[in-house]
Amino acid sequence: MENMELEVLEKATTKDLKQKLREKVLRLKKERNATIVAHNYQNVEVQEVADILGDSLALSKAALGTGADVVVFCGVDFMAETAKILNPEKTVILPVREADCPMALMVTGERLRQKKKEYPNAAVVCYVNSSAEVKAESDIACTSANAIPIVKSLPHKQIIFVPDKNLGHWVQRFCPEKEIILWQGFCTTHIRVTAQDILNAKEKYPNAPFIAHPECPPDVLDLADHVCSTSGFSSYIGKSKADTFIIGTEVGMIFKLKKDHPAKRLIMPTEQFVCQTMKMTTLGWVAHALEVMEHKIEIPEDIRRRAEKTLWRMMDISKDHPNAVIASY
Ligand code: 13P
Ligand code: SF4
């Protein structure tokens, strides 16, 4: 067979297979009374079958409101754990067990307990990108959408902020009244963009605003026109008159942004912006997860209860800050 024919055949088979998988997911979803929740960084094929798509804060809230018996969480493990902490009576499934967040693994309950002994007067704020055990050891959680108002809401001067040093550093800029004790964790995806990548993109597209996620390094954030959570990107583009934007976050965002703003031009400053573990979840794994009901998230009840308090304190405060945008720089 000619190469061209093979290519056409392959495309048709892939399309057919995708369609069959999509139908299977929709059928099983109904049978199981399940909701599919997906983070903005998920593969396009997964975003397309999701009932709810959003940033970590939106997904934490969405997990609460669903009437489903089963939540299939397409994202990374801490997100599915958060859904289980808030919905202990529901079955929460992470389609790929290995889909973890390397940054969340950079802090453990044990190491945090030691740090708390060093700073007995400090409050502990944990980024939601952390394990259930770390949440249980913390006073309050935050996401990239509400980190500044959460830190400001605390009466403490000293704040141990775990695990993202870049988000912690960003928060410190807006909270000079606080002493933020940074943990040395970082996002293995956002750390890969450099200030030079942004300068190159700005040279090519001088009128394009640069929107950045606060997990980017400080010298990259210095160049940003706007810093926000993943959902904040869409609201910013919606309000801006510009026609081209430099996107400072994971490539999965492009699909949603293109869908929300088809007339706008979106530029990725580097091809390095790929979160490998977010990309592990495929349509095939979602279908498999619903079929065999794996992998169920289980959390020891004493840890779950303590972690739930930490998340609820965040929810109570972020009621006043429903918008994903945290700050303009
Ligand atoms: P958001 O809360 O902004 O969606 O970010 C989650 C995340 O993992 C970013 O890397
Ligand atoms: Fe974790 Fe970074 Fe991937 Fe987000 S993008 S899940 S913080 S490694």
**Contact indicator for 227, 213 with CB cutoff of 8 Å:** yes
CATH code, residues 104-186: 3.40.50.10800
143 Cα nearest atom in ligand 1? 2
Q: Strand, coil or helix: what is 60?
A: helix
Distance, in Å, from the CA atom of 307 to the CA atom of 299, rounded to the nearest integer, reads: 10
Record: fold of 190-274: Rossmann fold (3.40.50)
The per-residue pLDDT for 302 is 98
324 lines ligand 2 (CB under 6 A): no
310 lines ligand 1 (CB under 6 A): no
- CATH 3.40.50.10800 location in the chain: 2-99+279-292, 104-186, 190-274
104 Cα nearest atom in ligand 2? 1
The per-residue pLDDT for 320 is 54
The per-residue pLDDT for 14 is 82
Top CATH class, 2-99+279-292: alpha beta
Per-residue pLDDT of the chain (329 residues; tens, 9 = 90+): 566 676 776 776 788 889 999 999 999 999 999 999 999 999 999 999 999 999 887 887 787 777 899 999 999 999 999 999 999 999 999 999 999 999 999 999 999 999 999 999 999 999 999 999 999 999 999 999 999 999 999 999 999 999 999 999 999 999 999 999 999 999 999 999 999 999 999 999 999 999 999 999 999 999 999 999 998 999 999 999 999 999 999 999 999 999 999 999 999 999 999 999 999 999 999 999 999 999 999 999 999 999 999 999 998 887 655 443 333 32
Rg for the chain, CA atoms, rounded: 20
Separation of 13 CA from ligand 1 center, angstroms? 34
Q: Which of 98, 215, 272, 279 best tests ligand 2's pocket when mutated (most atoms within 8 Å of CB)? A: 215
Separation of 102 CA from ligand 2 center, angstroms? 7
CA distances from 62 to 6, 166, 267 (A): 44, 27, 30
7, HSE (Cβ side, Cα atoms, 13 Å): 3
Which residue has a Cα nearest atom 1 of ligand 2? 101
The per-residue pLDDT for 322 is 44
